[in-house]
Amino acid sequence: SVKQHVVRKFLGLISSHNIPVYLIDPLILGLVDKDIEQIKSSPDGPSLECKYFCAPRDFTTFALLDKTWKHEVGLFRTAEKMGFQWLKIINKDPRLDGMDDLSGIEIPLHYIFKLASHAIHLVVFYERSGNYLWHGPLRLKQHMDRKFVPFRKLHFGRYPGAYEKPELLLISIDDLKVQIPKNPSSFLEEMSHSRFLECRYREARAFFQLYPDDTSLDAVEFRKKAKSLLHLAALTLNNLGVKFWLSSGTCLGWYRQCSVIPHSKDVDLGVFIRDYKADIIPAFQKAGLPLKHKFGKVEDSLELSFQGEDDVKLDIFFFYEEDDHIWNGGTQARSGKKFKYLFPKFTLCWTEFVELKVHVPCETLQYVEANYGADWKVPVKTWDWKSSPSNVQYNGVWPVDEWDDVIQIY
């Protein structure tokens, strides 16, 4: 088969230059995953049939870790000698995008090697702050051959993506030795919601032009504490396997200025109520964050607050999904009044914030606008959570006999 032949040639090319790549082709990984036990148990058995690499498709996708190779010209010369046509897609380095006025390097994001009717898509992964891997979007510049391969069918490149650093496994399939992610099914699961949003650095700079940043010692201290609280919260929730995202003021800070808002005084996270686990409270307590208050109950308007270092508070709001919207609840302790905050439906994307890979709503603008109204770009120092949000609704009063349960203050 042409496909197997091209993959074989490509692997030959790559190994002759000592470049470690691993297979991330979703189609082949899916096939491999079905037989994974068998493949693991017979590592070197000759196979008579071509079961994986001959599956019908236009290209095969591999990953390359940027730091494991030098950008050498020699590779492309050898590739050409072997008959490959190749295409390199470069773009700005997002790791420097957040910084004022640096320029100099565009980095390679994707390579495509084409031979006969088959192509190899090589996705370059970069390590970024927050201990994760990132790959860039695939965007063609004007002089590029738009028909080089059917770009729209590529599995990687529509959006940038964020991934954990994978553990690799060397397997032998169809008489070819190839590295794959150790757990193909969890890689495929990760891939399905890997979409990454870059912070809006340019807008953030414009914001700070208008509203100069607070660099007082208090602000510096608060940011430092908020950052370490967020790191601790992320560690705790990730260990429990609870998916969360930046919400309220923390989300606004990311979206508007790519940093913690110094006068916000707390850290806000959102969690879908379906991901709620009873272990959350003890896990935070164990991490040194005692419960400060608990409002509502799992069935309705649940909200947890934990006490961080020096008055910095961690709020976790639980979100309830309805057919056409999503909401979370609020409770006024003194009166037992209930409030409801409505949001349009959203999905979750990865982003990087204070050296952490975290989720934010992909539809961030709608989310922020729902919460803060059309004037979200203007900093507001006095904020009343009962009346200021533009999406707040009065939601009745908790029955007095439930107060002990739904209003717990420590």
Residue 387 CB contacts under 8 Å (≥ 6 apart), including other chains: none
Q: How much is the CA Rg of the chain, to the nearest whole Å?
A: 25
Alpha-carbon distance 218 to 222, whole Å?
Answer: 6
Return the number of the residue (343 or 398) whose C-beta is nearest other proteins: 343
Residue from 158, 177, 277, 286 touching other proteins (CB under 8 A): that is 158
In the complex, least distance from residue 99 CB atom to other proteins, rounded to whole angstroms: 6
Stretch that binds other proteins, among 68-76, 166-174, 177-185, 314-322 (CB under 8 A): 68-76
Stretch that binds other proteins, among 9-17, 43-51, 103-111, 309-317 (CB under 8 A): 103-111
Residue from 43, 58, 105, 274 touching other proteins (CB under 8 A): that is 105
Task: Indicate the pairing of strand 326-331 with strand 337-343.
Answer: antiparallel
Alpha-carbon distance 274 to 392, whole Å?
Answer: 22
Alpha-carbon distance 226 to 248, whole Å?
Answer: 14
Question: How far is CA 345 from each of CA 167, 187, 275, 379, rounded to the nearest angstrom?
Answer: 34, 26, 17, 25
Stated length of the chain: 410
Residue 184 as a binder of other proteins (CB under 8 A): the answer is: no
In the complex, least distance from residue 271 CB atom to other proteins, rounded to whole angstroms: 25
Residue from 198, 279, 300, 369 touching other proteins (CB under 8 A): that is 198
Residue type, 328: N
Residue from 76, 159, 385, 403 touching other proteins (CB under 8 A): that is 159
* Number of residues counted as binding other proteins (CB under 8 A): 45
Residue 293 CB contacts under 8 Å (≥ 6 apart), including other chains: 304, 305, 333, 407, 408, 409, 410
String of contacts with other proteins for each residue 209-228, x by CB under 8 A: ------x-x--x--xx----
Question: Which residues would be at the binding site for other proteins (CB under 8 A)?
Answer: 70, 72-74, 91, 93, 95-96, 98-105, 127-131, 137-142, 146-147, 151-152, 157-159, 197-198, 200, 202, 215, 217, 220, 223-224, 355, 365
